[in-house]
Amino acid sequence: MCGIFSIFSRDGEPIPPQILHGSRHSLRELAYRQSGKQRHRGPDSTGVYVLPSEGVAMVHERLRIVGVERGDQPFVSEDGNLILVANGEIYNYLELSAEIAKRRGSYKPKSDCHVILELYKDYGKDLLQYITGMFAFALYDRRTKEVLLARDPFGIIPMYVGEDAAGNLWVASEMKCLVDTCGSKVETFPPGEARFGRVGDLKVSWQFEQPWLTEVPSQPCDLSLLRANLESAVRSHLQCDVQLGALLSGGVDSSLIASIATKIMRERDPTFRLKTFSVGLKGAPDFQAARNVAKYIDSDHKELVFEIDEALDGIRDIVYHLETFDVTTVRCSLPMLLLARYIKSTGIKMILSGEGADEIFGGYLYFHKAPNYQLFHEELVKKVQGLHLSDCLRANKVAMAKGVELRVPFLDTGFVNHVMQIRPEDKIPGPLNQFGGEQQNRMEKYVLRAAFADNYLPDDVLWRQKEQFSDGVGYDWIDTIRSVASSRVTDEEFSTAALRFPLNTPSTKEAFYYRCIFAEQFPGEAAAGTVRKWVPRLDWGCPEDPSGRAQAVHQVHKD
Catalytic residue numbers, as ranges: 2
The helix/strand/coil state of 553 is coil
Q: Are strands 82-90 and 56-62 parallel, antiparallel or unpaired?
A: unpaired
Residues 6+ away with beta carbon under 8 Å from 206: 125, 126, 128, 129, 150, 193, 194
Q: How far is Cα 534 from Cα 37, in angstroms, rounded to an integer?
A: 27
In whole angstroms, what separates CA 492 from the centre of its chain?
Answer: 37
Residues 206, 320: Cα–Cα separation, whole Å: 31
Note the Cα 507 to chain centre separation in Å: 26
- Cα distance between residue 319 and residue 177, in whole Å: 15
- In this structure, the chain runs to a length of 559
Nearest C-alpha neighbor of 511 from the set 533, 491, 478: 533
Distance CA 467, CA 549 (A): 8
DSSP assigned state of 56: E
Contact 160, 198 (CB under 8 A): no
Rounded distance between C-alpha atoms, residue 73 and residue 41, angstroms: 14
User: Burial code of 68-93, b = ≥16 C-beta within 10 A, e = fewer?
Assistant: eeebbbbbbeeeeebbbbbbbbbbbb
CA 504 centroid distance within chain: 22
**Integer Rg of the chain from CA:** 23
Residue 530 neighbours by CB under 8 Å, 6+ apart: 160, 175, 186, 187, 188, 323, 324, 389
User: Cα torsion at 533, 314, 154, 253 (round to 10°)?
Assistant: -100
Sequence-ordered list of residues with C-beta below 8 angstroms from that of 360, at least 6 positions apart, any chain: 380, 384, 410, 416, 419, 420
Q: Which of 3, 6, 103 is nearest to 63 (CA)?
A: 3
3-state DSSP assignment of residue 425: helix
Does residue 74 have a cis peptide bond before it, meaning omega lies within 30 degrees of 0? Answer: yes
